[in-house]
Amino acid sequence: MTASTPAPRLSLRDVSYGYVGTSVNVLQGIDLELAEGRIVGVVGPNEAGKSTLCLVAAGLAPLAIGGRLDGTVEQDGVDTRTLSAGDLGQRVGILFQNPVTQLSGTSVTVYEEIAFGPRNLGLPLGEVATRVEWAADLVGVRDLLPRDPARLSGGQAQLVALGSVLALRPGTLVLDEPTSQLDPLGTRLVGDALADLAAETGTAILMVEHKTDLLARMADEVVVLVDGKIAKSGLAAEVLADPALPALGVEPPSDVRLRGALAEAGISFDPSWGPASGVQAAVGARE
Amino acid sequence: MVPFVLATIPLVLSIILINTFLFPGATDTIVSIGPLAPTWTGLTAAAQATLRVLAFALSVAVFSLTTPTDDLLTDLERRGVGRRAVFVIGAAIGMVPRLVERAGEIVDSQRARGLDTEGARWRRVRGVVPLAAPMISSALTEVEERTLALEARAFSAPPRRTTMRPLPDDSQQRALRWGLLVFVVVAVAASVSGALGIP
């Protein structure tokens, strides 16, 4: 391996996983690589194994929930099965759908909530304070620091949960539908914070997301997961424009759907047109 | 302070009534009212038991009114109590308002689907059953998700947690604590040896 091709932040090779007490593998033969600063989106129908993929990629399966893992999952070239919980937390962070369950429930202020992870690592108080302020600025919740975490809106709570994970400064971030409970403004806030994070800190992001419009805006690559297997993968623009996407249970982004509708109506479409002017020009051409 | 004392009223009332009127073997009747015969022995026993209950209620009141939960947990942690134990205490205390809130949401949604949660008492009692199942199942689901989220935030990491804010503890407070401890030991010893004359 040369200096120009560093080890990927996250690497899954021929990974299969089954939960405790079942004989079926929820994931089968998954190969996936995530380089520094890259955002990879994961889409797929319900029960495709997306959340399981998150747990496996984050090292929580089998470390925290048990189960059978075949193949290798590596963070920065280190097998996750050899890592302790403390090491794992500093290498990979995970954010789930429900903001409420991700807050510790024991902190009286947002400040303490974000400090929860760094304190678990036993860092000096000055370093804890530095990390809390850094993470709060990164996700834009500095104004919320003195507030009670139990009294935040869904979007605010999710940003605090994201900040709490980032305070551990993980090289990789795994997100399981982080915007599913957020309104359009909350979705935009979280999306922008994540894009900035990848660009500014080189954090590699694996993101399960139903909102393909968000992925079209943020992701470098997209993986389509169906029945625990990767059905398609590639550059985000190509995968999200694939006409087979609806048949796989994934709704394409709105611009792809619009182009499809225009084509179906027999209206010629020039891809160089901007989103709004494109529609006007297309409609004008038809008239 | 008042709510703590009010909370003892049902217990104190039953202590006074049962002891005063039904003290076994007592014959020093205060006054006979038909079949009722309150006794001095019973009344004295009731007064002693009431004082004990009040002492207990007031000690809980003093503790809860002078010690913010947050400070208690911080200090327990500083004194070496394991982070899991501290977390369990903190989460249990923090869970109460959330469960109350959730119960309200479940009652509202079930009322919207026609469940009678007002009116006759037996109907309201019957309404508790469909409330309990979703309360418990949602609380358990939350526990699983929260466990994973905490694990990902290095909850099981070995080092001792960083103490956020050292609590002020001056020499007067320390002297008072030790003084109270000595007082308790002396009082218990005096009471056990019969020096205080308390039965």
**pLDDT of A2:** 43
Top-confidence residue, B107 or A148: A148
Q: Report pLDDT for A62.
A: 87
Q: Enter the DSSP assignment of A149.
A: G
Give the pLDDT confidence score for residue A287 in this predicted structure.
47
Q: With an 8 Å Cβ cutoff, is A86 touching chain B?
A: yes
Q: Chain A closest CA to B67's CA: distance in Å?
A: 15
pLDDT, residue A3, reads 47
Is the CB of B154 inside 8 Å of chain A's CB atoms? yes
- Note whether B154 contacts A89, CB cutoff 8 Å: yes
Q: Which tokens hold the place of B128?
A: 């508790």
Q: Cα(A216)–Cα(A220) distance, rounded to whole angstroms?
A: 8
* Separation between Cα atoms, residue A92 and residue A85, nearest integer Å: 10
Distances (CA, A) of A140 to A108, A159, A190, A279, B69: 19, 8, 9, 35, 29
E runs forming strands in A91-163: 92-95
Q: Does A96 touch chain B (CB under 8 A)?
A: yes
Choice among A270-284, B97-111, B118-132, B172-186 with the minimum mean pLDDT: A270-284
Tell me the chain B residues in contact with residue A20 when contact means C-beta distances shorter than 8 Å: none
Q: Side chain identity at A286, as an amino acid letter?
A: R
Q: Supply the pLDDT for residue A73.
A: 94
Closest CA to B54 of B111, B88, B12, B106: B12
H helices, E strands: number in chain B: 7, 0
pLDDT of residue A278: 46
**Cα separation, B93 vs B68, whole angstroms:** 11
A-chain CB neighbours of B151 within 8 Å are 60, 63-64, 85, 89
The answer to whether the CB atoms of A150 and B98 lie below 8 A apart is: yes
DSSP assignment of A166-222, as one string? HTT--SEEEEESTTTT--HHHHHHHHHHHHHHHHHH--EEEEE-S-HHHHHHH-SEE
A106 touches B: beta carbon within 8 Å? yes
Q: Do residue B148 and residue A64 have CB atoms under 8 angstroms apart?
A: yes
Rg of chain A over Cα atoms, rounded to whole angstroms, equals 20
Give exposure, A40-59, as e/b (b: 16+ Cβ within 10 Å): bbbbbeeebbbbbbbbbbbb
Over residues B93-106, the mean pLDDT reads 78
Q: B180 to chain A, minimum CA–CA distance in Å?
A: 30
What pLDDT was estimated at residue A275? 53
Q: Which residue among B73, B146, B162 sits closest to A123, beta carbon to beta carbon?
A: B162
Are A165 and B147 within 8 A, CB to CB?
A: no
The burial class, CB within 10 Å (0-12 / 13-18 / 19+), for A158 is: buried
The helix (H) or strand (E) run that includes residue A69 is strand A68-75
Chain B touched by A62 (CB under 8 Å): no
Looking at the complex, report in whole angstroms how far the Cα of residue B60 sits from the nearest Cα belonging to chain A: 22
Q: Within 10 A of A130 (CB to CB), how many other CB atoms are there?
A: 14
Give yes or no for A217 touching B (CB within 8 A): no
Written as tens digits, the pLDDT of chain A (287 aa) is 444 556 789 999 999 999 998 999 999 999 999 999 999 999 999 989 999 999 999 988 888 888 999 999 999 889 988 888 778 888 999 998 888 888 888 888 999 999 999 998 889 999 999 999 999 998 889 999 999 998 888 888 988 999 999 999 999 999 999 888 778 887 888 888 889 889 988 999 999 998 999 999 999 999 999 999 999 999 999 999 998 888 988 889 988 888 888 888 888 766 665 555 444 554 554 54
Record: contact A105-B91, CB cut-off 8 A? yes
- CA-based end-to-end distance of chain A: 59
Of A105, A117, A121, the CB nearest to B146: A105
Task: Name the token pair of A128.
Answer: 């804890």
Using pLDDT thresholds of 50, 70 and 90, give the confidence band for residue B199.
low
Name the residue in chain A with its Cα closest to that of B143. Answer: A101
More confident residue, A120 or B130: A120
Question: Which of residues 157 through 176 in chain A touch B, CB cutoff 8 A?
Answer: 161, 164-165, 168
User: CA B87 to CA A106: how far, in whole Å?
Assistant: 7
Write the DSSP string, A78-104: EEGGG--HHHHHHHEEEE-S-HHHHS-
Query: Is the CB of A94 inside 8 Å of chain B's CB atoms?
Result: yes
Q: How many cross-chain Cβ pairs, A to B, lie less than 8 Å apart?
A: 108
Residues B142-158: what's their mean pLDDT? 83
Residue B85 near chain A (CB below 8 Å): no
User: Quick one: which of B184, B176, B163 has its CA closest to B71?
Assistant: B163
Q: Contact, B45 vs B24, CB < 8 A? A: no
Q: How far is A93 from chain B (nearest CA, A)?
A: 6
CA distance B94 to A150: 9
Compare all CA atoms of chain A with the CA of B141 and give the residue at the minimum distance.
Answer: A101
Among B132, B133, B115, B135, residue whose Cα is nearest residue B124: B115
pTM: 0.74
Cα gap A178→A182, rounded to integer Å: 8
Of A101, A121, A124, the CB nearest to B157: A121
Alpha carbon distance, N-terminus to C-terminus of chain B: 29
How far, in Å, are A164, A257, A268, A271, A276 from residue A285 at the CA level? 52, 19, 8, 15, 14
Region B152-163: what's the mean pLDDT? 82
Q: Which of A234-238, A244-248, B7-11, B78-82 has the lowest mean pLDDT?
A: B78-82
Q: What is the mean pLDDT of residues B106-128?
A: 73
Q: Note whether A98 contacts B: Cβ–Cβ < 8 A.
A: yes
Higher pLDDT, B5 or B186: B186
